[in-house]
Amino acid sequence: MHLYNKEQAIKRMNQFGQHHRPFVFIINYLQDASYIEEVAAVDSTELLYNLNGFTNQATSTEKYTPSFSAKPANSIHWQPSAESFYSYQRSFNIVRQNILAGNSFLTNLTCRTPVDTNLTLEDIYYHSKAIYKLWVKDTFTVFSPEIFVRIHQGKISSYPMKGTIDASIPSAAQLLMNDPKEAAEHATIVDLIRNDLSMVANQVSVSRYRYIDTLQTNQGAILQTSSEIQGILPENYPEHLGELIFRLLPAGSITGAPKKKTMQIIREAETYDRGFYTGIMGYSDGINLDSAVMIRFVEQEGEKMYFKSGGGITCQSDAESEYNEMKQKIYVPIY
């Protein structure tokens, strides 16, 4: 898989947009490594995608032999080994001290968790339920529900996702919507994304605020809150697709606010490199575009599997609650 630096990636995306040539893109969190390739040139033995219906999956389905039976669910072995609370608390304290000092209003703190499983990356890709899925051979797979931006007929839309709760909890939806910490976190991200879109679009507005979606997982259903923000792009946007997308990066929902300083805090607090986790992936026909934030992420290193997950930290957060919420997110949506 050939990767491009930021300058090369922007130029390549601009060229594809200018000539209305369909392409797939994968951009890592730090934006210093990107895969930008015409659809016809994607090697399905190395990379598979299903991005809201745009897929090359059919070319390889017959070659795939599952290493487990997807039925019943109890055939799945999935045993995470979360980092210790002591280790998490160290990272949390770095974030919280910076928030109390006024350096950040919201910081998304993430972790890398070893997982013992009988699933391969291909198993997870083929059998997980998500609107956006990607598999890179012997490297990682991602099954994301979170839209980054969509562009359709000159309109750009973003759908920041913040706020999660176990759907089996009594009055779960009411608890989620009334939680002051979740409400504050969501408001901060919506404001950040609205400002981001204002850098590339006109008439930016919040068209839907804090609506709830249900996601099924192998551990049961969860509820998640999102909002919809829209704006109008300049007429010549296709020839500037690369500049447009990179100007919006990194995704606000998995970084925090303000972005530049919060990225420095993340670098100090986190104990690993995010790599492609919390980057973005997407498809463009050269005019319209659909993309996702790369969350729900499983990475392979040799024979070991790691699940990457995280959550937003605000001044109202406490370490124990955030640690428990982080552990609850380590799942695969196979059921």
Active site residues: 146, 162
Query: Which uninterrupted H or E stretch holds 10?
Result: helix 6-18
List b or e across 92-112, with b for residues whose CB sees 16 or more CB atoms inside 10 angstroms: bebbbebbeeeebbbbbbbbb
DSSP state of 252: G
| Residues facing residue 204 across a β-bridge | none
Rounded (10°) angle between helices 85-100 and 259-269 = 150
* Burial class, 252, CB count within 10 angstroms (exposed 0-12 / middle 13-18 / buried 19+): buried
CA distances from 170 to 157, 167, 175, 176, 220 (A): 33, 8, 9, 11, 14
- The DSSP annotation for 260-323 comes to HHHHHHHHHH-SS--TTTT-EEEEE-SS-EEEEE--SEEEEETTEEEEEEEEEE-TT--HHHHH
Contacts (Cβ under 8 Å, ≥6 apart) of 201:
156, 231, 232, 233
